[in-house]
């Protein structure tokens, strides 16, 4: 993929993350309504009133709130095809239902622990916001990043040419 297509996809990805972060307060309000209630499909129904692309799942030992991204492709700069972001869902919560350290999203009676979910959402949102900020800065320096990576690849290639496989094996030198 060429540089401009990559930048266009990264910007589309950022836009999807920012859309989800804008919904955070409304998502938290929904979670509060279900405090001390058993997690059911009613949560997804309430989330869909916030945004039709939101969904809630609680299976195995995971509780997830995510948004399906409908705007996930851009036409390539060649004009002959479309390129897609790598993940069609953006997550704002992915936490354990039960935890040995007592910080799961469910209370002992199997009902929702809204305060823990809200705490986890806030941690995740803070991480995502920092990630978006970093990504925006790095997009501006994409040529430098690519050049640095190419230099590292060249060093790796030269190292592999110069070093016997047995030395690498015994010293556990792996890339």
pLDDT in tens, the chain (175 residues): 789 999 999 999 999 999 999 999 999 999 999 999 988 889 999 999 999 999 999 888 888 999 999 888 888 888 888 888 888 899 999 888 776 666 778 888 888 899 999 999 999 999 999 999 999 999 999 999 999 999 999 999 999 999 999 999 999 998 8
Tokens representing 144? 């430098």
| pTM for the structure as a whole | 0.82
Q: What was the pLDDT predicted at 19?
A: 94
In the chain, DSSP assigns E strands to 54-59, 62-68, 73-75, 82-84, 89-96
């Amino acid at each position: 993929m060429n540089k401009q297509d990559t930048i266009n996809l990264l910007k589309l990805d950022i836009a999807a993350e920012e859309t989800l972060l804008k919904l955070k307060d409304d998502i938290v309000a929904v979670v509060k309504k279900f405090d001390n209630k058993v997690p059911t499909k009613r949560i997804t129904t309430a989330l869909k009133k916030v945004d039709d692309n939101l969904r809630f799942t609680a299976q195995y030992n995971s509780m997830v709130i995510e948004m399906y991204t409908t705007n996930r492709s851009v036409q390539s700069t060649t004009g002959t095809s479309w390129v897609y972001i790598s993940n069609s869902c953006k997550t704002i919560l992915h936490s354990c239902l039960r935890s040995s350290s007592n910080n799961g999203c469910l209370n002992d009676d199997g009902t929702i622990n809204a305060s823990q979910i809200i705490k986890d959402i806030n941690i995740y949102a803070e991480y995502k916001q920092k990630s978006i900020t970093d990504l925006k800065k790095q997009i501006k320096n994409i040529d430098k990043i690519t050049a640095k990576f190419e230099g590292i690849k060249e060093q790796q290639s030269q190292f592999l040419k110069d070093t016997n496989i047995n030395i690498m094996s015994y010293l556990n030198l792996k890339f």
